[in-house]
Chains A and B, each alone.
Chain A
Amino acid sequence: SAVISQKPSRDICQRGTSLTIQCQVDSQVTMMFWYRQQPGQSLTLIATANQGSEATYESGFVIDKFPISRPNLTFSTLTVSNMSPEDSSIYLCSAGTSSYEQYFGPGTRLTVT
């Protein structure tokens, strides 16, 4: 299994600013993903974080709004740029190994005012 930590755990941000969320895994993993979850809702995939290359974004999510980095096999960041109240959500990092299992971090609860 993999243990995943995220920073910050929560934040309250002003409209128009940006926030970078960090995801650290305790072991080298093959796959890393970023999801968004509205309270009481299911998880929506934002993008696949590719090590050493540009992330692969899902429909409705763009790099200018959600730039992602993954410099190595254990670390990734997601930035939420030019935030609006609609970006208020829980952002979750997940990581997977070649054995198919995927594990989630505790999430970052973002409120935009």
Chain B
Amino acid sequence: QQQVKQSPQSLIVQKGGISIINCAYENTAFDYFPWYQQFPGKGPALLIAIRPDVSEKKEGRFTISFNKSAKQFSLHIMDSQPGDSATYFCAAHTGRRALTFGSGTRLQVQP
């Protein structure tokens, strides 16, 4: 199965710090790379996404950095807040097909 590898598995950050989550993919046919945020007992919520023709996308405190040659992309959460504590999943897909998910990162932002 096409894989997306995600790290770290868990992350503890102090309030106001920067949270960084990394993903790497294998399939060069992937052309859409979203990040999802999931709180306990809830479904994943689309947070931010990027296409491979762009190296960076920023929405508020959330930034995706994309390195096409290395087949890697990362999520940066600036000024991390306790309310950001959740599980984050990177994903990838191509065309009208289902998402391939990373394994998830449990983020805890300490006050």
Give me the interface of A with B, judged by CB distance under 8 Å: 1, 4, 30-31, 33, 35, 41-43, 45, 48, 59, 92, 94, 96, 98, 100-107, 109
Contact = CB atoms under 8 A, between A and B. Distances in A.
A42 to B, nearest CB: 5
Interface of A is mostly: strand
Interface residues of B, number: 21
Interface stretch (B38-46, B64-72, B75-83): B38-46
Contacts of A107: 42-43
Contact of A43 (B34, B41, B42, B101): B101
Contact of B44 (A45, A96, A98, A104): A104
A103 to B, nearest CB: 6
Contacts of B96: 30-31, 96, 98
Contacts of B45: 104
Contacts of A48: 97-98
Nearest to A47: B98
Contact of A101 (B49, B101, B102, B103): B49
B29 to A, nearest CB: 14
A4 B44 CA distance: 12
Given A100-B32, A102-B34, A103-B46, A45 B103 contact: no
